[in-house]
Amino acid sequence: MYKLYLYYKNELMGNYKVKGDDFDKCFNELSLILVKDGFKKNKTIHQQIQTYKNFCDTILKRKRDCYKIKSSDWWLFLSCYMALVKFNEISYNDFIFMKIKRGVGK
């Protein structure tokens, strides 16, 4: 197991437990359906990027303003974030996978 730590606009947005440290596998599990759905709705890449950025900006603002954010919104944020990385709008340097170490004797 790994933890994925996400930074958006230089702010730690959260961490998520993931099965591995392969970005493409995470993208395929979390964001591919979102991107494909956008194409099915005739949304261009540029339109999708704007939609994902707007959602991420909204979540960032809610976090900074200390508003409660639903779990489903965090997962959608993660999906949008991964899509933005895939579209080269967010750098691969803005997130990190860290292995979860097990305690001694566990």
**Distance, CA of 61 to CA of 38 (rounded, Å):** 24
DSSP result, the chain? -EEEEEEETTEEEEEEEES-S-HHHHHHHHTHHHHHHHHHTT--HHHHHHHHHHHHHHHHHHHHTT----HHHHHHHHHHHHHHHHTTSS-GGGEEEEEPPPPTT-
- Which residue has 């097990």 as its token pair? 102
Has this prediction a pTM greater than 0.85?
yes
Taking residues 18-36, report their average pLDDT.
91
Q: Does residue 6 carry a pLDDT above 80?
A: yes
* C-alpha triplet 41, 61, 88: angle, nearest 5°: 50
pLDDT at 103 (0 to 100): 61
Average pLDDT on 35-54 reads 97
Q: Write down the domain spans for the chain.
A: 2-99
* Model confidence pLDDT, tens digit, residues 70-106: 999 999 999 999 999 999 999 989 999 999 887 654 4
